[in-house]
Amino acid sequence: MPHILIIDDDEVLAGLFEDYLREEKYDVTTIFNGSAGLEAALTNNYDLVVLDVMLPDMTGIAVLTGIRSKSQIPVLMFTARGDDVDRILGLENGADDYVPKPCTPRELIARIRAILRRSQAESRHEKKLQCGPLQIWPQQRKAIWHEAQLSLTSTEFSLLEVLTRHAGQVVDKNTLSEQALGRPLAKFDRSIDVHMSSIRQKLGVQQDGHGYIQTIRGKGYLLVK
What confidence tens digit (pLDDT) does each residue in 186-224 have?
888 889 999 999 999 999 998 888 899 999 998 999 999
Name the band, by pLDDT with cuts 50, 70 and 90, for residue 125.
Answer: very low
pLDDT-derived band at 124 (thresholds 50, 70, 90) equals: very low
Lowest mean pLDDT: which of 47-51, 101-105, 168-172?
101-105
Residue 212's CB is within 10 A of a number of other CB atoms, namely: 20
> Is CATH 1.10.10.10 the right assignment for the domain spanning 129-223?
yes
User: Of all residues in the chain, what percent carry a pLDDT higher than 70?
Assistant: 96
CA pair distance 219, 174, nearest whole angstrom: 10
> Residue 191 corresponds to which amino acid?
S
For 55, 170, 220, the CA distances from 176, given in Å and listed in that order, are 32, 10, 9
Its pTM stands at 0.75
Q: Could you tell me the pLDDT band of residue 126, with boundaries at 50, 70 and 90?
A: low
Domain covering 3-119, topology = Rossmann fold (3.40.50)
CATH 1.10.10.10 domain span(s) along the chain: 129-223
DSSP string, 46-81: -SEEEEES--SSS-HHHHHHHHHTT----EEEEEET
